[in-house]
């Protein structure tokens, strides 16, 4: 019996579009993307289930059936998919299993550190408002925290990164040219290359299987509340995925350069250049990803950066 292989989608933290990527992968007939809690001993499959699967081939299909993103596929039969993609597991968990299974690929999302930092600023402000008694961290504290989090994740990645097996998604490319970005992931996983519009999307209510219509609602989120049209079931109401994922949101890439309009851009560019290198930050400032369509320059910059982190 052919069992699906395990891959891991890794990010330094939330707020980097991981559910957008994971839902796109779930739309591929040969790939299943899991919920963040899967294999995490969090009510469903556990860390020990992952170990049993990888070490003894005990496949937890019945449990995984309810731990995959929508639209669901039949995971009870293991030969239905080639890949099961773990949703942001701790990188240490993946590295541990990689010691025994050299073939577990890491798919890592990298984003312009300055715009990612702005997402952090917004997220922690909102978090303080709603969940820490309106207490706010100052920007400097968030800067330090962000720097440590992103760099330690990249440091880990750099020690084990294998470009033959792993893949680094450029966030900016994913949003400005999704078909090419998807093609690279599908080639890494050696599954048929499909275009964005060929991927399966959610059409029916997961509870009652009725056809879904649309409705405009207020969606909370790190970037502030936004009014958006979402899928909705007449009986079960509006449907959002994890991380307030809107199944029909059409991403437009115009937000990618918004960070340049902030007042402290110059200061941040020089601070981040000290860490990531001036050429890397210039790449984002000059929006070179728009011309670097096949990401040759991006790959070169990120590889150079990871080599610097490799000790």
Burial of 254-263, coded b for 16+ CB within 10 Å and e otherwise, reads eebbebeeee
Q: ∠ CA 43-189-292 to the nearest 5 degrees?
A: 115
Question: What is the Cα–Cα distance from 70 to 33, expressed in whole angstroms?
Answer: 9
- Minimum distance, C-beta of residue 231 to Zn ion, in the bound complex (Å): 10
- Minimum distance, C-beta of residue 201 to Zn ion, in the bound complex (Å): 16
Question: What is the Cα–Cα distance from 176 to 293, expressed in whole angstroms?
Answer: 9
- Other C-beta atoms lying within 10 Å of the C-beta of residue 226: 13
- Which residue number, 2 or 211, has a Cβ lying nearer to Zn ion? 211
- Minimum distance, C-beta of residue 69 to Zn ion, in the bound complex (Å): 17
- Which residue number, 218 or 235, has a Cβ lying nearer to Zn ion? 235
What radius of gyration, in Å, describes the C-alpha atoms of the chain? 20
- Which residue number, 204 or 288, has a Cβ lying nearer to Zn ion? 204
- Minimum distance, C-beta of residue 238 to Zn ion, in the bound complex (Å): 11
Peptide bond into 71 cis (omega under 30): yes
- Which residue number, 68 or 232, has a Cβ lying nearer to Zn ion? 232
- Minimum distance, C-beta of residue 212 to Zn ion, in the bound complex (Å): 8
- Which residue number, 193 or 208, has a Cβ lying nearer to Zn ion? 208
- Minimum distance, C-beta of residue 71 to Zn ion, in the bound complex (Å): 14
Question: Where does this chain bind Zn ion (CB under 5 A)?
Answer: 205, 207-208, 233, 235-236
- Minimum distance, C-beta of residue 220 to Zn ion, in the bound complex (Å): 22
Nearest residue relative to Zn ion (C-beta): 205
- Which residue number, 95 or 217, has a Cβ lying nearer to Zn ion? 217
Q: Which phi and psi (to 5°) does residue 229 adopt?
A: -80, 130
- Which residue number, 154 or 233, has a Cβ lying nearer to Zn ion? 233
């Amino acid at each position: 019996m052919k069992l699906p292989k395990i891959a891991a989608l890794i990010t330094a933290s939330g707020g980097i579009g991981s559910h957008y990527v994971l839902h796109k992968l779930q739309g591929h007939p040969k790939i299943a993307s899991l919920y963040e809690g899967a294999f995490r001993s969090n009510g469903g499959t556990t860390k020990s289930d992952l170990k049993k699967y990888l070490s003894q081939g005990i496949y937890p299909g019945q449990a995984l059936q309810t731990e995959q993103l929508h639209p669901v596929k039949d995971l009870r039969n293991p030969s239905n998919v080639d890949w099961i993609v773990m949703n942001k597991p701790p990188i240490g968990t993946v590295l541990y299993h990689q010691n025994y299974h050299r073939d577990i690929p890491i798919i890592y999302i990298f984003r312009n550190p300055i715009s990612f930092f702005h997402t952090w600023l917004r997220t922690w402000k909102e978090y303080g408002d709603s969940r820490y008694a309106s207490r706010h961290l100052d920007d400097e504290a968030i800067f330090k925290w962000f720097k440590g989090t992103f760099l330690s994740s990249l440091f880990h990645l750099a020690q084990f990164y294998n470009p033959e097996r792993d893949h680094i998604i450029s966030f900016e490319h994913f949003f400005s040219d999704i078909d090419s970005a998807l093609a690279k992931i599908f080639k890494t996983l050696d599954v048929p290359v499909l275009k964005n519009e060929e991927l399966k999307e959610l059409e029916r209510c997961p509870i009652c299987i009725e056809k879904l219509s649309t409705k405009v609602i207020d969606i909370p989120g790190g970037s502030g509340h936004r009014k958006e049209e979402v899928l909705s079931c007449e009986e079960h109401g509006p449907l959002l995925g994890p991380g307030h994922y809107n199944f029909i949101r059409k991403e437009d890439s115009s937000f990618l350069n918004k960070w340049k309009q902030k007042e402290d851009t110059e200061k941040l560019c020089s601070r981040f250049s000290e860490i990531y290198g001036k050429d890397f930050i210039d790449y984002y400032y000059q929006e070179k990803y728009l011309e670097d369509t096949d990401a040759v320059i991006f790959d070169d910059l990120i590889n150079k950066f990871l080599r610097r982190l490799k000790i």
